[in-house]
Amino acid sequence: MAILDDGMHKLPGVTCSHCSLGQGCVIYTTRPNVCRDYYCLWRSLPEMDETWRPDMSGIMMIPTDTPPPPGYLFGVTLILTGSPDILRTDKFAGMLAGFVESETAVYLDVPQGVGLFSHRSFLNDQLAPAIAARDLPAVKALIWSCFEALVAKPAVKLTADTVKA
């Protein structure tokens, strides 16, 4: 995720220099306003516990930055910030299924590297039948298939022109 603010500049695909694995922000008390004003989505959802912290789960949950498709009131983007192994877990599939069943538009966002745009996929249409059938192995296989498709897409370099597009 890119952060371009007066108090902080961070390219997509780069972990913040102030983030310590398992500890979180090491400058928390003096963090810039862009960080101070940000409230992690997992913290606002009562069913999410501390294990969903991005530095612990490898997933950052943010409200979708574009309007959700018709029929959805809210959207959430799940940004892979750690090992893709989280995508194969029952825990991740269950969380994602909860969003889909509550008619929340869900996107998987896979960073492509430093200075590159991440790739994003809308998951609801692909996963809804397997979720409705309560077929956990199929849900997990579909999540992994979506991940592999995103990784296979060509990288797009972040430039002033592509940011404006």
- pLDDT of 59-111, one tens digit each? 999 898 888 999 998 999 999 989 999 999 999 999 999 999 999 999 999 98
Give the count of domains, the chain: 1
In a domain, 22, yes or no: no
Q: How far is the C-alpha of 165 from the C-alpha of 154, rounded, in Å?
A: 17
Q: For the range 45-53, what are the long-range contacts, defined as Cβ-Cβ under 8 Å and sequence gap of 24 or more?
A: 47/98, 48/95, 51/91, 52/95, 53/24
In a domain, 27, yes or no: no
In a domain, 8, yes or no: no
pTM of the model: 0.81
In a domain, 73, yes or no: yes
Q: How far is the C-alpha of 33 from the C-alpha of 84, rounded, in Å?
A: 30
Domain that holds residue 115: 41-164
In a domain, 24, yes or no: no
In a domain, 31, yes or no: no
